[in-house]
Chain A
Amino acid sequence: EPEVTQTPSHQVTQMGQEVILRCVPISNHLYFYWYRQILGQKVEFLVSFYNNEISEKSEIFDDQFSVERPDGSNFTLKIRSTKLEDSAMYFCASDREDLLYNEQFFGPGTRLTVL
């Protein structure tokens, strides 16, 4: 069964460093998402991406964040200068274009720890 994959599973970085989190969505999916979950808090939407551009973003997704689909398979989230409060689990998700069947498939997550 096809699945969303994410790498790395755990990333440790120093405050102020740039990190890139990687995701490979399901191959015939066209919408891609990033969510995050700070420990003990809700899963929160960050951004959605369609047709090589951002379609929606939350207020969390500020100028420190960017997303890219650098090739036909990867979808990345970059945090330009990490802060302590960026420590969280980051989930990538994807779904088909058809809104009537909008089941999002999630990856296993990347745990980001900012020291």
Chain B
Amino acid sequence: AQSVSQHNHHVILSEAASLELGCNYSYGGTVNLFWYVQYPGQHLQLLLKYFSGDPLVKGIKGFEAEFIKSKFSFNLRKPSVQWSDTAEYFCAVKGGSARQLTFGSGTQLTVLP
């Protein structure tokens, strides 16, 4: 069975600070990896995804993530956060032939103006 761990439950940053949110997964085979964001009162939106190829993936709104297979990690980064990045961020994995996503517990990011 696959699982996902997000180590930070709540991160508070000032605008222009750099962001890194940790995500580790547990699955022995081929995985697809995702980061979703949920802005207050809105639905889950895809930030970026990794299926194969270049392990450094660029997504929307200046976010990127790096897949490190040896560490089973897929950390999300942004060099300079904005107040509008305040949201909850979810890492998710899809393993093998399964279609359903397994989510981490989410990280609430608060960016102070």
A75 adjacent to chain B (CB < 8 Å): no
Contacts of A100 in B (CB 8 A): 51
Q: Chain A contacts of B102 at CB under 8 A?
A: 45
On whether the beta carbons of B100 and A102 are closer than 8 Å, the reply is no
Chain A contacts with B in 29-45, Cβ cutoff 8 A: 31, 33, 35, 41-45
Chain B: interface residue total (CB-CB under 8 A): 24
Contacts of A4 in B (CB 8 A): 43
Contact with B along A2-26 (1 / 0, CB 8 A): 0110000000000000000000000
B112 within 8 A of A: no
Interface centre among A42, A93, A107 (most CB of B within 10 A): A42
Interface residues on chain A, number (Cβ under 8 Å): 27
Known contacts being A42-B105, A102-B94, is A107 close to B43, with CB within 8 Å? yes
Can you list 18 pairs linking A and B with CB atoms under 8 Å apart?
A4-B43, A35-B101, A35-B103, A42-B103, A42-B104, A42-B105, A42-B106, A43-B44, A43-B90, A43-B103, A45-B100, A58-B100, A91-B44, A93-B44, A102-B32, A102-B99, A103-B34, A106-B44
Given contacts A31-B99, A42-B105, list 18 more A-B pairs with CB under 8 A: A33-B99, A35-B101, A42-B103, A42-B106, A43-B90, A43-B101, A55-B99, A56-B98, A91-B44, A93-B44, A95-B99, A102-B99, A103-B34, A104-B46, A104-B101, A106-B36, A108-B42, A109-B43
A interface residues (Cβ-Cβ under 8 A, vs B): 3-4, 31, 33, 35, 41-45, 48, 55-56, 58, 91, 93, 95, 99-100, 102-109
